Structure 1
């Protein structure tokens, strides 16, 4: 059944991917109308999240952010599909890194890097970063249910010396790389919501107390890797700029969770600056009614 789904869907995705960008974004506009007005995909969740974190904003402003978010959300979908056939030249033109020297600094110091990011901006074309660095790239991801599409996504990333690994594979993979004196640059989407009973740390994110993942920080300390935050900014439609901020050159000199706290503060700053580019369909605050004491 998985193979049949792949055989039926893949040609349609490939046809979308070869569209010139002007037609690609026209398709995105149509997709927006379908998802927002017809299907109503997670509109209630998005609105609840926006009201939750922006209690002082008027209803008209909330609705404006919501519509802008769905436009951007549909652009990300078609940009992910475009990854099937986009040229290296086009990707390098559309995803730029104005302070790449921040990464080179750590490489020159013979440091592997933990790259922390949030569900903000666009992360679909970030793997072109590998064309600018010498370190081998890994990204922690959730395995797709359909094994054929999972292989496809891995194959696309591997074109640029970037490899997807699951959470369970991460520690062993990076430990092996360190043992082999191999420099790596490792992407973690770190703003997800862990199960409360498994959370080691809670903090105020956008003014709301929630459990947070600390795995990126703990792994950086265990393997003595520099920790860098990457922020993706949308310049204009189809063009993004990624900048890097070092959170820790020597992670073991920081108290536990200080790096994680600093990461979330930077995410908050981005959200306040342009809230429409955060992934509001994500149920990030679903455990807000709980507290750490409930799980002791």
Structure 2
């Protein structure tokens, strides 16, 4: 069944991917009508998340953010499909870096990098960063249920010398790279909601206390990787600009969870500046009622 689904769906995805951008975004506009007005994909989740994050905004303001978000979400879906056939020149034009020299300098200093980001703006096209670097790139991801589509995604990323690894593989793969003297860059999308019972750290995110993923920080400390945040701005439809900010050059110099808390604050700043570009469909605050009883005593 997996292979049947693949051979039926893949040609459609490929045909969509070769569309000129003008037509691609026309398809995105149509998808918006279906997702938002017809299906109502996760509208209640988005509505609740926005109310939680912005309790002082009016219903009119929240409705405006919600509609803009769904337009952006549909663009992201089509842009991820476009990744199948987009050329390097096109991607370099559409996904730019304001200060890529910061990452290049870390490479010159033989520093491996833990690159932290959130589900904000566009994280699909960040892999073009590899064309500016000579180090090997890794990205933590969740393996797809369909092994054929999983291979497809890995093949797309490998075009730019980026390699997808699962959370379980990350320690062994990156430790082996370090032992071999390899300078590596690993990307972490670190704003997801971990399981409450397995969380090591809780903190406020958009004013709400939630469990926080600390894997990127812990791995960076274990392997002595400089920690860098990348923030993304959507300049206009189909065009993004990334800016890097060093969080910790030597992560061992920071107290436990301090790096993670700095990261969360940077994500909040992005969201407050342009909230429509955050991924409001995921249930980031679902564990807000499970705060440990000793949380306040640790502050």
TM-score class, shorter-chain normalisation, is over 0.9
Aligned mates of 1:11, 1:293 — CA distance in 2: 53
Aligned-partner SS, 1:96: strand
Aligned 8 A contact 1:201 1:257 in 2: yes
Aligned mates of 2:175, 2:134 — CA distance in 1: 19
Aligned 8 A contact 1:94 1:240 in 2: yes
Please name the residue that 2:19 is paired with: 19
Q: CA deviation at 1:292?
A: 2.1
Q: CA deviation at 1:134?
A: 1.5
Aligned mates of 1:151, 1:232 — CA distance in 2: 27
Matched, 1:191 2:220: no
Aligned-partner SS, 2:119: coil
Question: 1:93-142: CA deviations, max 9, x gaps?
Answer: 00011100110121111110000000000011110000001210000000
Aligned mates of 1:27, 1:133 — CA distance in 2: 34
Please name the residue that 2:54 is paired with: 54
Aligned mates of 2:83, 2:59 — CA distance in 1: 36
Aligned residues: 295
Aligned-partner SS, 1:75: helix
Aligned mates of 1:76, 1:146 — CA distance in 2: 21
Please name the residue that 1:223 is paired with: 223
Q: TM-score, normalised by structure 1?
A: 0.99
Please name the residue that 1:123 is paired with: 123
Give the unaligned 5+ runs of structure 1.
none
Q: CA deviation at 1:11?
A: 0.5
Please name the residue that 2:284 is paired with: 284
Aligned-partner SS, 2:194: coil
Aligned mates of 1:198, 1:222 — CA distance in 2: 20
Aligned-partner SS, 1:289: coil
Aligned 8 A contact 1:193 1:213 in 2: yes
Give the unaligned 5+ runs of structure 2.
none
Please name the residue that 1:94 is paired with: 94
Aligned 8 A contact 1:138 1:165 in 2: yes
Q: CA deviation at 1:74?
A: 0.1
Q: CA deviation at 1:293?
A: 3.0
Aligned mates of 1:125, 1:51 — CA distance in 2: 30
Question: 1:239-296: CA deviations, max 9, x gaps?
Answer: 000110000000000000000000000000000000000000010000001112389x
Please name the residue that 1:172 is paired with: 172
Please name the residue that 1:83 is paired with: 83
Please name the residue that 1:242 is paired with: 242
Please name the residue that 1:132 is paired with: 132
Aligned mates of 1:48, 1:237 — CA distance in 2: 26
Please name the residue that 1:141 is paired with: 141
Aligned-partner SS, 1:219: helix
Aligned mates of 1:40, 1:196 — CA distance in 2: 28
Please name the residue that 2:253 is paired with: 253
Please name the residue that 2:181 is paired with: 181
Aligned 8 A contact 1:196 1:292 in 2: no
Aligned-partner SS, 1:292: coil
Aligned 8 A contact 1:29 1:74 in 2: yes
Question: 1:189-209: CA deviations, max 9, x gaps?
Answer: 000000111100000000000
Aligned mates of 2:292, 2:243 — CA distance in 1: 34
